[in-house]
Structures are given as structure tokens and as C-alpha cells.
Structure 1
Amino acid sequence: MSTVGKRGASSPRELTRMSDRLSFVYLERCIVHREDNAITAEDADGITHIPSATIGTLLLGPGTRVTHQAMSVLGDSGAGVVWVGEQGVRFYSGGRALTRSSALVEAQATAWANRRTRLDVARAMYRMRFPGENVDGLSRHELLGREGRRVKDCYRAQAEKVGLAWNGRHYVPGDYDVGDAANQAVTAAAQCMYGIAQTTVAALGCAPGLGFIHSGHELAFVLDIADLYKTEIAIPIAFDIAAEGPEDVGSRTRRAIRDRVNQVGLLKRCVHDIKRLLLPDAPAQDPTADDADHVTLQSDRGINIESGRNYAEDVHW
């Protein structure tokens, strides 16, 4: 097994594109280690090998231990790692971008810094979530009100569809068991979507804290992206699972979400949606897909100049 010091960092060309990866892999009560360029999960039943470059997000549940070597290969391959609580309520993640380009994060910062364009992106997100609705000219407060009504209607419709009583969304941070089976399933589904969204945002090199709908949190943009798929994927699956029974509803929901997002290719769609939101007028050649490192220096009047040279002779003191 090679050591960290002997192993060079992967180039963008060597890394698996985010849209071609598994959505997430959930592990619990095992030791996560590394063998060559795969991670291994060892428990009482033996050792399972998982190619690290194929993972979007690795969810580490209760009872897991992970080695430094495992984290190094996961970081090198661009996989997100999320430590999940007993019921999947809290998570912490890290990872590296799979792109060398700063085009997306610069476009995100530019759109976020202007109040008008920030609202434009928020409206575009609502159009993605609720096709066919005209939100042109709506204020932020009006958007929030309309979104709230649509989500409430979704909860009621799904409860009626599966024959469950629904008395509203009840979630107490840190107390997963306070809700009924449907609320627990909705929470578990939401956490899966947050993990997928956070890894995609990190892989594309975007700023997770610069949200267009959410604000004031380090993962504001992650919450924005996860919500794009709430009423389409997360809520319907949560109610379907809760209707089957309250036993082990969290893990059953995670498995169902995993199967569904892989079936519909959600990672690929998530990558496309973020690029469409932040670079709506991008040319046919995707500026974020270049494998080479292009570092320039910022000059005056918005002009970028070549890096790697000294400009002392060009400046008149």
C-alpha cells in the first residue's frame, strides 16, 4: 500500500465526474480503511471493497471508525464524507472540488452580491420546483408564501395518497423521536438530500454559504439546492415508507432515497441545475469542464492577465 507522501494528487482528468457517481453509500458499525485506491469497510461479516472514485457522498453512521489513509484517498477522489448521528439528524462534511475552474463560484458570488440578480436566481429556483407557475415580478415574501402553500399541499396530498393521518410537520432539532413515523421519514429523507446537495456543491467548487433563498448559515446554498427536489423525491418517498410501518423508518427511508436518486440520475441532474442557475448564458463549451489549471492575475478594468511572470518592468513607479 502506498503512503500519502508517495501518492500524487489526482488530476481532474483522472477523477470520475460528479454526474457519473453513486449518490451515496451508507456505512455503520464498521472500520473504514484503505486498500490501494479503494476504501474498505470491515465488520463482523468481513471486508467490503468500495472504489472511492465512484462515491458521491459517504455517510458514516453510528459505530464507524475511519483511518487517516481512508480519508486521504476519499479527499483525493473528491468524495464527500458526512458523519451521521444515530438517526441521521446531524451531519458534518468535507471534500474537494472536482473542477479547477473558478467560473461557477465567481458567477455565484456575482449573482449573490447584487440584490436584483439574487432575486432572479431565487425566482429561477422556484420555477424549477413548481413548473408552470409564473413568478415574474413576485417579491421574496410572496415567493416564500407561495412555496409554503405548495409544500403544505404536498404533505397533505401524500398523506391522503398512502392513507396516513397528518397533523403537520413537527421537527425538533436533535430530537428525532419526537415526531411520528411520517415526520421521522421526512427528516431522514431531508438529511439524505442535504448530503447529496452538499457534496455536489463542494464538487463543483461553489460557495455553500452564499444562498439565494436561505441565508445566514454556512450551508445556505446547500439548503437551496436540496429543496429543489423536496416535493418531487423526498416527501413522496418518506410517506410511502412511513405507510409501510414505523419500524426502522429512518434506515428504510435512506435506502429508498438511495435507490430512487440512482434510478433517476439525480446527481447528474443536480450538476446540470446548478450550472443552469449560475451560468444561464454559458457557451456550448462548459467553462468548468476544462482539465487544465488556468491561473491568471486580475488587472484593471476587468482584464485578467497571464500569471507566472513578474510585471515590475511594466509598472512606472
Structure 2
Amino acid sequence: MEKQSGAKKPELSELGRVRDRLTFLYLEHAKLDRQDSAIRVSDARGIVIVPAAIISVLMLGPGVDVTHRAMELMGDAGMAVVWVGERGVRQYAHGRALNHSSLLLEAQAKLFSNQRSRLAVARKMYQMRFPNDDVSGLSMQALRGKEGARVRQVYRLQSERTGVKWTRRDYNPDNFEASSPINQALTAAHQALYGLSYSVIMAMGASAGLGFVHTGHDLSFVYDFADLYKAEFSIPVAFNTVAALTEDDNISRNTRLAMRDAFVDGKLLGRMVSDLKAILGVSDDQTEISNLSLWDDRLGLQEFGVQYHEIKVGETQ
């Protein structure tokens, strides 16, 4: 038998918990290979070894060359891998993440498929942004109007605080440089937040496409989820970055680094895990380990891996 090189695939119990991992790592113009249980990143400046089990999401920008062995390790370690455009502006593809349980996915699908429960979840998400107001009786139209007024006020207050001029949100995803510095920073900050939101959703086994406010897109729930944190994280970070900007600074890089620090300082990853469970009505004591069963319309869940015998018409099991 051929001896397997490298480290063996870790058990689920050995993998770092989602809430305890680092938030994200963005790479571009580099070669990624596997070295034991770590990702070996090399470019013209040298080599860096990144332990695979400590990263929540790896954002791969242009010019990245990834070996099959590196991708195998990322999958085994439950690392969410997202292929993005230059400066992380577009998301093109993604890989499978950590959780193998369908618990949150089933809860999300059940809530999404009923108009009343979908509205209740949407109200719950808006309530998180308005902790001092009762939004339980508001329609979606009223909630959107209330949220729009809140976001406009956030932009205005951040502009006054930092001295950065603000007019309106304006950007072209096909031409990052065409927008103003503050809009460039907001785009980079929001994309980092979307990446982290996506990684938590996928790692916990929920669906990125079943949104309760946004709909019709494969990342609808990512936009729902990220909107909960923009006023606290991406918007102020973008204004802070532009306020401290010098002529030679790289806006997108500076913004990403500032977002990474804000995620860590604000312990956002742990908050996201708890918030996601609360939104979907799943308690912390419910298991995250998969238990594969067979569904039965009469008998409920049946044991998987059993050689069942044929039941003749008229017989009972």
C-alpha cells in the first residue's frame, strides 16, 4: 500500500470551533501549497506558513495558484474558500465549509417557506438594529423606510465625526477606481464583512441563498446578515480609513487590515455564531455534529446503514 504523505485528515472534534477562529485572510498573486497541516503561501517576497484550522474564510484574489493538496487540506479543515475579484469586489465561487449537520439549514428552510414565519424572522433582524423600539407590528415597507433613515443618519454622523465629506453611496463594481475614496473604502469594508458573514453562514450549515429581507440571489441571506453589523463595523472603519489616508496609501488594503482588526477587537465572529442561531431559532445546546438518518413519512427518522427488508403490500413492519 502506498504511504500517504502529509498529515492525516483531522476528526471533526479536532477542528477549531467556528467562533474561535481568525476572521479572514485575503491573498492575491501568490502560490498556495500544502505543508503538513498548514497552507504554504509563497510570492516574490518570501514564504509564510498559515495553519489551516485557525482561518474562518480564505479570500483568493487574482493571480493565485492553488495546488490540489492545498485545496484538500482546506476542505478537511473546514475553511471557507471564496474566489473573489481584484480587491475582493466580486465573489465568483466558493468551497464547502465546516459543519456537516443540516440542523440550521432545515430550520432556515422551514422559516423561509412560510410567509408569516419569514416576516417574523425579518422583524427579528430589524429588531436587532432597533433595540429600543418595538417593530413587531411594522410591515416590510415600514421597516425598509425606518432602516433607510437609520443608515442615512449613520453616514451623516460618521462624516461629521471624521471630517470626511459625504454625499451618497455610489460605486461601479467594474471600475473600483472610478468612485470617491470614501466609496472605495466602503466597498472594500462591506466586501470584507460579506466574506465573514458568508463564512459563518456556510460553516454553520445554513444557506446563503435563503434570505428573509433580500431575495432572488444566491447570496441573499449574506446581505441580510451583514446588514446587521454595517453601522458598527464597516461604515465607521471606512470613514476612519479615509480620514487617516495619505497620498501613497492603498485604500482597499488599508481598509481590509482595519476591518480585520475591528473584527478581532469586537469579537464579531463569536457574536455572529450566536446571532445566527438566535435568528433561526436554534439553541446553543443543540448539536452541530451531523447524524445521518433516513426519513420516513410514517415512522419518523430511521437508522442509516441498516439492510432493510422489503415490506409486502398488506404487511406491517
Superposition TM-score, scaled by structure 2 size? 0.91
**Which residue does 1:214 correspond to in 2?**
214
Moved over 6 A (4+): none
SS at 2:90's partner residue? coil
**Which residue does 2:257 correspond to in 1?**
255
Matching of residues 210-289 of structure 1 within 5 Å? 210-245=210-245, 247-280=249-282, 282=283, 285-288=285-288
* Residues 80 and 97, structure 2, Cα contact 8 Å, conserved in 1: no
Distance 1:86 1:240, change over 3 A: same
Q: Which of the numbers 299, 304, 307 marks the counterpart of 2:301?
A: 304
Q: Which amino acid aligns with 2:156?
A: R
Distance 1:25 1:151, change over 3 A: same
**Which residue does 1:114 correspond to in 2?**
114
Shift of 1:84: 2.9
Which whole-Å deviations, capped at 9, do the CAs of 1:219-253 have from their partners, x for residues lacking one? 11111111111111110010010112263111100
* Residues 158 and 239, structure 1, Cα contact 8 Å, conserved in 2: yes
- Whether 1:24 aligns to 2:24 is yes
Aligned length: 310
**Which residue does 1:316 correspond to in 2?**
313
Give me the CA root mean square deviation. 2.0
Q: Which amino acid aligns with 2:109?
A: A
Answer with 264-273 or 171-180: which moved more. 171-180
* Residues 17 and 98, structure 1, Cα contact 8 Å, conserved in 2: no
- Whether 1:39 aligns to 2:36 is no
* Residues 182 and 238, structure 2, Cα contact 8 Å, conserved in 1: yes
Structure-2 separation of matches of 1:84 and 1:116: 36
Structure-2 separation of matches of 1:129 and 1:65: 41
Distance 1:17 1:92, change over 3 A: farther
Task: Give % identity.
Answer: 45
Shift of 1:286: 2.1
Which whole-Å deviations, capped at 9, do the CAs of 1:172-191 have from their partners, x for residues lacking one? 22221221111110000000
Shift of 1:132: 1.4
Structure-2 separation of matches of 1:164 and 1:301: 64
Unaligned runs of 5+ in 1: none
Q: Which amino acid aligns with 2:291?
A: H
* Residues 30 and 65, structure 2, Cα contact 8 Å, conserved in 1: yes
Shift of 1:134: 1.3
Which whole-Å deviations, capped at 9, do the CAs of 1:66-88 have from their partners, x for residues lacking one? 21211111111111122232232
Shift of 1:37: 0.9
Shift of 1:296: 1.5
SS at 1:174's partner residue? coil
Structure-1 separation of matches of 2:188 and 2:4: 37
SS at 1:232's partner residue? coil
Distance 1:43 1:120, change over 3 A: same
Structure-2 separation of matches of 1:120 and 1:51: 40
Unaligned runs of 5+ in 2: none
Structure-1 separation of matches of 2:52 and 2:212: 32
* Residues 105 and 205, structure 2, Cα contact 8 Å, conserved in 1: yes
**Which residue does 2:132 correspond to in 1?**
132
Answer with 299-308 or 205-214: which moved more. 299-308
Structure-1 separation of matches of 2:237 and 2:306: 56
SS at 2:34's partner residue? strand
Matching of residues 70-219 of structure 1 within 5 Å? 70-219=70-219
SS at 2:56's partner residue? strand
**Which residue does 2:12 correspond to in 1?**
12
Shift of 1:287: 2.5
Which whole-Å deviations, capped at 9, do the CAs of 1:184-229 have from their partners, x for residues lacking one? 1000000001110111111111111100111000011111111111
Structure-1 separation of matches of 2:286 and 2:22: 23
Q: Which amino acid aligns with 2:236?
A: P
